Amino acid sequence: NIIELKVILKQNDDIKQEYIIAFISKRNNNVESNHSSYKEKALR
């Protein structure tokens, strides 16, 4: 199973114009998919 996580941090200014502050994308590979999150953190 491949899991993908995307996060967008947005902010509105005084006139409600929306701006993207940060964008993060993470997709695990096949090796990471074979381990639980607990084991994955231990392997790093």
Q: Is the pLDDT of residue 31 over 90?
A: no
* Contact residues for 38 (Cβ-Cβ < 8 A; gap 6+): none
pTM of this prediction exceeds 0.75: no
Task: For residue 33, give its domain range.
Answer: 4-43
Q: How many domains are there within the chain? A: 1
Kindly state the tokens that stand for 38: 């607990």
Please tell me the predicted confidence (pLDDT) of residue 27: 83
Q: Is the pLDDT of residue 13 over 70?
A: yes
pLDDT band of residue 34 (cuts 50, 70, 90) is low
Start-to-end CA distance of the chain, whole Å, equals 20
